[in-house]
């Protein structure tokens, strides 16, 4: 057997094996968390080593969503995440297009300046933001938290979209201009349909940042429980010795499940966007 045939045969065997191992490593913790969340606490105390529960119960989810207030936390997180994604894309799309297509002084350096904010730890920015938001009366409001997340996500989404917009053929935009399209209509009718994969990726990134972020949520919302997000509510559960482990796991599932759903939905749309872009290109 030649070396090439041996390597190909070895890769055919190792590929599914490696994929299976990686899948188990990533899926098992989430599956174990789900199984713990549907177990009775008494059964867990008596049989802590058992993986599969004898009986399933949803009382933990009822406790989390009603008594612990996670329904309102989910609403707050959804408002913050969706608003952050919408405004981030609204600002990033024209900004990234300008950096990718327009000629101006400092064009080559501007996208690096956008990322300069990530040179500083979040805690360094948190103190001046806390003082500023206190002076403006925005502490304790979801609107203030949305502003922080937009400031966090806009620089990197501009950088991501700028790189993708540069791959869109200029000949397509020139053809649209010949047909009478203005710059804005060219972006709306030509560039954005061809950029669906990038828009999905940047939107998912902004959503995950706004949904999972904890430091700024704790800093600005801790004094106002009715404005808490899911991550802040989960930390409150984790810090209480009176909360059973099963209820804590149910809260973790409530926090994680929307991200999983959004990811798989975005993956499907991302594939469709790649196909549509190839057909239109």
Q: What is the pLDDT of residue 211?
A: 92
Q: What is the pLDDT of residue 272?
A: 53
| Domain locations along the chain | 3-58, 69-239
Per-residue pLDDT of the chain (281 residues; tens, 9 = 90+): 577 787 788 888 888 899 889 888 888 888 888 888 888 888 888 887 777 888 888 888 998 988 888 999 999 999 999 999 999 999 999 988 888 887 777 666 676 777 776 777 778 888 888 888 888 888 888 999 999 999 888 888 888 888 888 888 888 888 888 888 888 888 888 888 888 888 888 888 899 899 988 889 988 888 888 889 999 988 888 877 778 888 889 999 999 888 888 888 777 666 654 444 434 44
State the architecture of 69-239 in CATH terms.
Answer: Orthogonal Bundle (1.10)
Q: What is the pLDDT of residue 276?
A: 43
Q: What is the pLDDT of residue 275?
A: 43
Long-range interactions of 93-99: CB distance < 8 A, separation 24+: 93/161, 93/187, 93/192, 93/199, 94/187, 95/154, 95/158, 96/157, 96/158, 96/159, 96/160, 96/161, 96/162, 96/164, 96/165, 97/161, 97/162, 97/165, 97/187, 97/191, 99/158, 99/162
The first and second tokens of residue 236, run together, are 């409150």
pTM over 0.85: no
Yes or no: say if 246 and 40 are a contact pair by the CB < 8 Å rule.
yes
C-alpha neighbours within 13 Å on the C-beta side of residue 180: 0
Helix (H, G, I), strand (E, B), or coil: what is residue 136?
A: helix
């Amino acid at each position: 057997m030649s070396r090439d045939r041996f390597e190909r045969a070895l890769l055919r065997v190792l590929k599914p094996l490696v994929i299976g191992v990686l899948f188990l490593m990533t899926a098992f913790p989430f599956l174990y968390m789900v199984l713990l969340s549907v177990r009775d606490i008494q059964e867990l105390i008596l049989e802590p080593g058992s993986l599969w529960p004898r009986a399933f119960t949803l009382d933990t989810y009822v406790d989390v969503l009603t008594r612990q207030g996670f329904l309102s936390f989910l609403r707050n997180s959804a408002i913050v995440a969706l608003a952050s994604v919408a405004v981030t894309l609204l600002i990033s799309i024209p900004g990234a297009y300008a950096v990718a297509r327009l000629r101006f002084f400092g064009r080559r350096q501007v996208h690096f300046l956008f990322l300069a904010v990530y040179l500083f730890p979040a805690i360094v920015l948190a103190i001046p933001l806390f003082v500023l938001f206190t002076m403006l009366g925005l502490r304790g409001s979801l609107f203030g938290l949305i502003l922080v997340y937009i400031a966090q996500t806009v620089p990197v989404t501009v950088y991501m979209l700028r790189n993708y917009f540069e791959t869109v053929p200029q000949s397509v935009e020139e053809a649209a201009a010949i047909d009478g399209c203005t710059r804005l209509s060219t972006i709306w009718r030509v560039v954005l349909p061809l950029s669906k994969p990038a828009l999905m990726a940047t939107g998912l990134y902004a959503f995950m940042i706004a949904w999972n972020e904890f430091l700024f949520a704790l800093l600005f919302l801790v004094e106002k429980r009715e404005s808490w997000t899911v991550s802040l509510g989960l930390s409150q559960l984790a810090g209480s010795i009176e909360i059973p482990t099963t209820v804590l796991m149910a809260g973790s599932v409530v926090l994680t499940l929307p991200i999983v759903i959004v990811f798989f939905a975005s993956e499907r749309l991302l594939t469709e966007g790649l196909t549509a872009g190839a057909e239109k290109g």
